[in-house]
Amino acid sequence: MVRVILPDDSQLEFDRPVTGLEVAERIGPRLARQALAVRLDGELRDLATVIDADSRVQIVTHQSDPEAALDLLRHSCAHVMAEAVCRLFPEAQLVYGPTVENGFYYDIDLDRPIRPEDFPAIEAQMDQIVQADEPFRRREMDRQAALAKLRAEGNRYKIDNAGRAAGDTLSFYVTGADPNGRFEDLCRGPHLPSTGRIGAFKIMSIAGAYYRGDAREKMLQRVYGTAFPDKKQLAAYLNQLEEAKKRDHRVLGRQMDLFSFQEEGPGFAFFHPKGMIIWNEMVDYWRQVNRRAGYQEVRTPIILNEQLWHQSGHWDNYKENMYFTRIDEVDYAVKPMNCPGGCLIYKNRPHSYRELPLRVAELGLVHRHEASGVLHGLLRVRQFTQDDAHIYCRADQIESEVVAVMDLAFEIYRTFGLTDIRLELSTMPEKHIGTEDIWNQATDALKGALEHKKIDYALNPGDGAFYGPKIDFHVRDCIGRSWQLGTIQLDFSMPERFDLTYVDRDNSEKRPVMIHRAILGSLERFLGILIEHYAGAFPLWLAPEQVRVMPISEKTNEYARQVLNRLQEANLRCTIDQADDKINAKIKRAHDQRVPYMLIVGPSEAQSDTVTVRTRGRKDQQKWPVGQFIQIAAQDIARRRLDRVDSAG
RNA sequence: GCCAGCGUAGCUCAAUGGUAGAGCUCCCGCUUUGUAAGCGGGCGGUUGUGGGUUCAAGUCCCUCCGCUGGCUCCA
């Protein structure tokens, strides 16, 4: 007898082993129709799995367990796509086909390139397979037999996969009506009961991907697809992608005339006047809070003697990313980081323990030779400005300093309305300087700070800077890609290399610890993220143009100019639209340019010394005395208020 | 850097290997405008670069440059 315990703790009894489907049928026909898989004692398994011992069973449906159901669906769809590709290209070798955040991909080794124009043919084959509603059948073999079978078939990737799979039993999935199946793939599973349960799918893109992510390995073809329970959800997802494209900072940057890139300087941004306004507002704010947090500011040269970079370790660990030049027969390097220059300032005079922690900030312009294929608008460039700082302190001050930097970072992010931030702790990479002991000590200090703050974080092993472990702050762009903003890096090595010292209370020379930190990260990247975050609708304090005065006709141009003067005297960034257009056209233009406030003036306003205020993102408008409008706007700017005008974030 | 795709007017996009075109922007008129695009006219191109195939190339082939999506890498 088999006893099955359901999630509500009720029990079902069967006089023989049963499948998940039979359990669902016993509960009800509707559940049986919706059932996609089972959780056996919490573990996700095929619906056809035979339950031969007492266990807890949960029937997985789109309703009961949407995440697992979607994952099953997508993974099964990856198989269907793989089969479709193999039908069209029998010489294709399948490699690996997992689900990813918004769909799935399958890596395929095929000498003929798969092109976007092949997608309809692949999708047509997939349609056939789905229409046929064929069962996915699991076939288990012991490891020896499975390996023998795979060797006979000669797919080196699957042999490799099988070799790395855990356990003594390997599984294959078969689709196709006849018992031997038509299509079979080594796979851990589980799957949907049958191909017909895949709702709506679409092949999205094709990309090269190195086998096992190793650039020395063969480049495979990675076909990306997505799938949803029904057409409506697929359409909603595609629509969401379209919407995301509209807030892409590269599109908005051009439309709003904020910045540009030119062929003459790939990866080097050109900032236009409106972009510079936002930039300068960011910097003003940054200076203000950093000063308050006890930072001093310095500025170090962009080009420094190559010898310095040997001393710092950058030559050995970072030279692939550096630019070099010669001046008067002497070798120089363009700085990729600010720390060595900062160390030279520190060394310029002796320091007392009384000065520590010494917090030194720098808006440092760095150059890094990034691979051409990774450049991406403002988010990945070859020249950028870090809001860097180096904190020189004693070991016992590390934790409180790191905590203070985290507090400062969250305060700054909050000012910009960024609240969806993820933290990562990165540990010692292969290429590094300093002993393992020092690394452990530094890593523990960072962990201590995180735990002290009770902040959730992900561990990112082996991803630290070459000189120390780090805590990174990440935020997502509008299409879901994650970008690093701030970073806090602990460094015991640079002080050693540069022989940095301070004189302690007992008159002995001691070695300070260095904390490298950036909060905005790169001003370029941060601006890019902000553009996407606000969808171009910047809050008043950041908006390149804060107010636009719009006369109804030429008859009120004179009054409009008087209003403009008063706005200018109040330091508001404002323009006047005197074009020979109807007010509708002016409003449309101002909306397109995302101007926060439109002040509409006609004869009636001129008579009463008022303006009709139309606020971005709203249709209603109010008539206000000019002075009152100026007062409210000035106050919102001073407070860096985010919410009075609609910011799309 | 690697794989695939793309590159036509300032912008968004058309053009079976056969005379490069539209809308918007911009300029000039008309209109004097009341809450998300008034009307008319005009300017604007050696089709990213260099080569090749062809009677003929925006279109086909090759080189280089740039961009897009991934991969490796990274703030």
| CATH code at position A490 | 3.30.930.10
DSSP run (H or E) holding A38: strand A37-40
- Identified catalytic residue from A77, A339, A343, A574: A339
Residue A187 lies in a domain: yes
Which residues lie across from A511 on neighbouring strands?
none
3-class secondary structure, A106:
strand
Q: How many C-beta neighbours within 10 Å does residue A550 have? A: 27
Do A87 and A232 sit in the same domain of this protein? yes
pTM of the model: 0.92
Write out the two tokens for A441: 């000590």
CA distance A16 to A50: 10
A339 is known as an active-site residue: yes
Do A592 and A475 sit in the same domain of this protein? no
Binned at pLDDT 50, 70 and 90, residue A649 comes out as very low
Residue A271 lies in a domain: no
Instruction: Please tell me the total count of domains within chain A.
Output: 4
Binned at pLDDT 50, 70 and 90, residue A180 comes out as low
A562 is known as an active-site residue: no
Residue A555 lies in a domain: yes
Residue A270 lies in a domain: no
Region of poorest pLDDT, from A86-100, A366-380, A466-480, A531-545: A466-480
Do A96 and A28 sit in the same domain of this protein? no
At which of A21, A37, A64 does a domain end? Answer: A64
At which of A217, A243, A269 does a domain end? Answer: A243
Do A385 and A299 sit in the same domain of this protein? yes
At which of A64, A79, A109 does a domain end? Answer: A64
Binned at pLDDT 50, 70 and 90, residue A482 comes out as confident
Do A476 and A410 sit in the same domain of this protein? yes
Do A105 and A136 sit in the same domain of this protein? yes
Do A564 and A503 sit in the same domain of this protein? no
Please, are residues A492 and A339 in contact by the beta-carbon 8 Å criterion? no
Q: Would you state the pLDDT for residue A577?
A: 94
- Chain B, protein-covered positions (CB within 7 A): 1-5, 11-12, 29-38, 65-75
CATH code of the domain covering residue A197: 3.30.980.10
A368 is known as an active-site residue: yes
A441 is known as an active-site residue: no
Residue A500 lies in a domain: yes
Q: How many C-beta neighbours within 10 Å does residue A230 have? A: 11
Can you tell me the mean pLDDT for A3-17?
A: 92
A351 is known as an active-site residue: no
A613: containing domain:
547-638
Write out the two tokens for A629: 């409008």
Per-residue CA distances from A583 to A169, A404, A443, A577, A613 (Å) = 74, 51, 61, 10, 13
Spanning CA of A379 to C1' of B11, the rounded length in angstroms is: 23
Give the residue with minimal CA–C1' separation from B31.
A580
Do A200 and A338 sit in the same domain of this protein? no
Residue A261 lies in a domain: no
CA distance A62 to A192: 12
Residue A604 lies in a domain: yes
Q: At A466, which amino acid appears? A: F
Do A580 and A495 sit in the same domain of this protein? no
Do A524 and A563 sit in the same domain of this protein? no
CA distance A218 to A188: 24
Region of poorest pLDDT, from A127-136, A173-182, A527-536: A173-182
End-to-end distance of chain A based on CA atoms, in angstroms?
Answer: 58
- pLDDT, one tens digit per residue, over A129-172 is 999 998 998 988 889 889 988 898 888 899 988 888 888 888 88
- Identified catalytic residue from A125, A221, A383, A386: A386
The nucleotide minimizing the C1' distance to residue A219's CA is: B3
CA distance A444 to A194: 50
Of A101, A116, A48, A104, residue with least CA distance to A80: A104
Do A387 and A523 sit in the same domain of this protein? yes
Which residues in A439-558 belong to E strands, given as ranges?
458-460, 470-476, 482-491, 502-503, 509-510, 513-522, 547-551
Residue A16 lies in a domain: yes
- Identified catalytic residue from A274, A390, A525, A573: A390
CATH code of the domain covering residue A23: 3.10.20.30
Q: Would you state the pLDDT for residue A635?
A: 96
Do A212 and A347 sit in the same domain of this protein? no
3-class secondary structure, A498:
coil
CA distance A391 to A359: 4
